[in-house]
């Protein structure tokens, strides 16, 4: 194993995160909120650790294989989360390191689950940093590094594959670096568009920035106690629509730029996503309109917003859906598993995986009836090979197994009921944010003990990196030299 390259890359990433912290540093200058020193200290330590790592582990060769790709990804995300927690601890706004770690992991993994009991008491720079972690983690730290750092070998694709969500990874253009650049460019343009639309709707500058960053990464850290609830209907609509947009595969936006409309039109995953969103919104709208006495426009808006917040795994909320009828809550919890499209910033199982699973089930059922049938499975107009199918099956089994494991461990926490524990794990594992009951939209995760916060943090990392990188880096055989 090319250990030097693993440490070297990790060092480079730490340096990059240090550089990214200049943005919240600037925010702390603007608002003079006292966060300056803690960011300066963190940037200093990033520079020290990053330079130390990348200078003391100069790799002899840049060649990496799948294993190194997984390790670099897992290690990077762990260290970046630990470093990202420092400003909160140093400034004393989240004095406990485990709390700060949970909050940062929740930020980078774009979960949006918080342990803060009083969000409105936080300083501007800290709030900005919290939402900025969403934005960085949404498209990915390593994707950003590939876009920025020159002279990486073609094998860097192993790193990208480990970080990008979805069953397969397709390049947009021949060069990996150009692909990463295009993705970030689209990401920045969409974020800026939302920022402008929010500003036009009369949202203050800072709030617009924070919410645009939070939506883009499909994160969901709000800056008010009731999340988005107190903003105007127009602003809620803008955020709802953008949540939906960020849950779509970014490749489609590139096709849009290239004006290849027919390819977009033919995307099965896209249509499945849209149909599911509309159907679920319709059902919930009918349910809450008849049972909750909302005005019709409000019912439509709340239903659409809540469905998108869950499907895109963002986690903003306009109402406390914990108070909604059981049918609506059930639909929302089921949607939590689905998540967005592959190649988006959303979490969850991904629509394409579910479509493939469904098609595979249909084929297996047919095989029971016609034992000699030989049928290929087609997806997005192409035959899917068996190795992809079996990896999707394996992923699903692993996903369910880990989910059960996490629920079991979290259930040791005294004082929480099954619904809270279950939805807390589902919500963290799928990078959504709020669950139901004690961890619902109006509550938070502060009640969990330190150990359980760490467990839930790991659930978030497992979910964001799609299990394998974390699993491989935690297996002893990876590290022990025989």
Partner 1 sequence: MKIVVVGCGKIGEAILNALTLEGHDLVVVDNRDHVISEIVNKHDVMCVCGNGVDRETLSEAGVESAELFIAVTGSDELNMLSCLIAKRMGAQHTIARIRNPQYNDKSLGFLRQQLDISMSINPELLTAQELYHMLKLPSAVKVETFSRRNFEMIELLLKEDSPFIGVPLYSLRERHSAKFLVCVVQRKNQVIIPDGGFVLQSGDRIGLTAKPSEIQKLLKSLGLAKKQAKRVMLLGGSRIAFYLSRMLMSSGTDVKIIDMDRAMCLKISEMLPGISTICGDGTHQDLLLEEGLLDQDAFLSLTGMDEENILVAYYAATQKVPRVIAKVNRDEMAAMATSMGLESIISPKDIVVNVVLRYARALQGSMGVASIETLYQLMDGGAEAVEFCVKEDSALTRTPLKSLPIKKNTLIAGIIRDRSTIIPAGDDMILPGDRVVVIAGEHRLKELTDILR
Residues within the interface to partner 1 (CB under 8 A) = 66, 153-158, 171, 173-178, 385
Q: CB neighbours of 117 closer than 8 A, spacing ≥ 6?
A: 444, 446
Separation of CA 393 from chain center: 22
**CB 189, min distance to partner 1, A:** 23
**CB 153, min distance to partner 1, A:** 7
Percent helix, strand, coil in the chain, to 5, is 70, 0, 30
Separation of CA 255 from chain center: 23
Q: Which is nearer to partner 1, 158 or 181 (CB)?
A: 158
**CB 219, min distance to partner 1, A:** 31
Q: Which is nearer to partner 1, 174 or 371 (CB)?
A: 174
**CB 162, min distance to partner 1, A:** 12
> In whole angstroms, what is the distance from residue 190 CA to residue 201 CA?
17
**CB 152, min distance to partner 1, A:** 9
Nearest CA-CA partner of 345 in 253, 473, 210: 253
Q: Which is nearer to partner 1, 132 or 254 (CB)?
A: 254
* Terminal C-alpha separation, the chain: 12
Ramachandran angles phi, psi of 378, nearest 5°: -110, 140
Q: Locate 463 and state its tokens.
A: 């979910």
Q: If you search the block for the tokens 């979490």, which residue do you land on? A: 347
**CB 173, min distance to partner 1, A:** 7
Q: CB neighbours of 458 closer than 8 A, spacing ≥ 6?
A: 470
Separation of CA 327 from chain center: 26
Q: Which is nearer to partner 1, 95 or 154 (CB)?
A: 154
Q: Which is nearer to partner 1, 151 or 477 (CB)?
A: 151
**CB 177, min distance to partner 1, A:** 8
Q: Which is nearer to partner 1, 178 or 268 (CB)?
A: 178
Q: Which is nearer to partner 1, 249 or 423 (CB)?
A: 249
């Amino acid at each position: 194993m090319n250990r030097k390259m693993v440490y070297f890359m990790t060092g480079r990433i730490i340096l990059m995160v240090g550089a990214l912290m200049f943005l919240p540093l600037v925010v702390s200058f603007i608002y003079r909120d006292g966060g300056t020193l803690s960011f300066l200290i963190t940037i200093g330590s990033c520079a020290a650790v990053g330079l130390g790592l990348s200078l003391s582990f100069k790799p002899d060769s840049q060649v990496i294989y799948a294993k190194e790709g997984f390790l670099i990804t897992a290690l990077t995300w762990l260290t970046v989360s630990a470093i990202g927690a420092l400003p909160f601890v140093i400034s004393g706004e989240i004095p406990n390191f485990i709390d700060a770690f949970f909050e940062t992991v929740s930020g980078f993994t774009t979960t949006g689950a918080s342990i803060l009991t009083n969000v409105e008491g936080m300083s501007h720079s800290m709030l900005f940093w919290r939402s900025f972690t969403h934005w960085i983690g949404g498209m990915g730290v390593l994707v950003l590094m590939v876009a920025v750092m020159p002279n990486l070998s073609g094998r860097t694709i192993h790193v990208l594959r480990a970080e990008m969500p979805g069953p397969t990874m397709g390049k947009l253009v021949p060069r990996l670096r150009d692909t990463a650049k295009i993705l970030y460019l689209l990401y920045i343009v969409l974020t800026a568009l939302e920022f402008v639309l929010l500003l036009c709707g009369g949202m203050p500058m800072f709030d617009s920035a924070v919410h645009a960053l939070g939506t883009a990464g499909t994160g969901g850290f709000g800056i008010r106690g009731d999340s988005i609830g107190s903003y105007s209907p127009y602003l809620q609509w803008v955020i709802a629509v953008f949540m939906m947009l960020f849950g779509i595969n970014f490749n489609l936006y590139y096709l849009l730029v290239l004006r290849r409309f027919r390819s977009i039109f033919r995307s099965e995953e896209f249509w499945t996503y849209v149909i599911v969103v509309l159907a679920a919104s319709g059902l919930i709208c009918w349910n809450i309109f008849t049972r909750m006495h909302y005005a019709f426009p409000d019912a439509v808006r709340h239903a659409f917003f809540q469905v998108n917040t869950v499907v895109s795994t963002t986690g903003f909320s306009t109402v406390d859906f914990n108070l909604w009828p059981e049918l609506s809550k059930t639909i929302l919890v089921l949607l939590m598993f689905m998540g967005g499209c592959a190649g988006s910033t959303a979490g969850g199982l991904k629509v394409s995986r579910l479509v493939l699973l469904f098609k595979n089930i249909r084929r297996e059922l047919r095989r029971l009836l016609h034992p000699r049938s030989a049928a290929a499975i087609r997806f997005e107009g192409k035959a899917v090979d068996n190795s992809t199918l079996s990896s999707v099956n394996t992923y699903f089994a692993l996903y369910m197994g880990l989910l059960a494991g996490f629920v079991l461990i979290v259930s040791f926490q005294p004082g929480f009921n099954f619904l809270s524990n279950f939805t807390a794990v589902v919500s963290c594992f799928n990078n959504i944010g709020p669950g139901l009951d004690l961890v619902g939209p109006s509550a938070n995760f502060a009640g969990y003990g330190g150990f359980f916060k760490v467990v839930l943090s790991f659930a978030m990392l497992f979910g964001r990196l799609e299990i394998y990188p974390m699993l491989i880096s935690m297996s002893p055989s990876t590290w022990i030299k025989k």
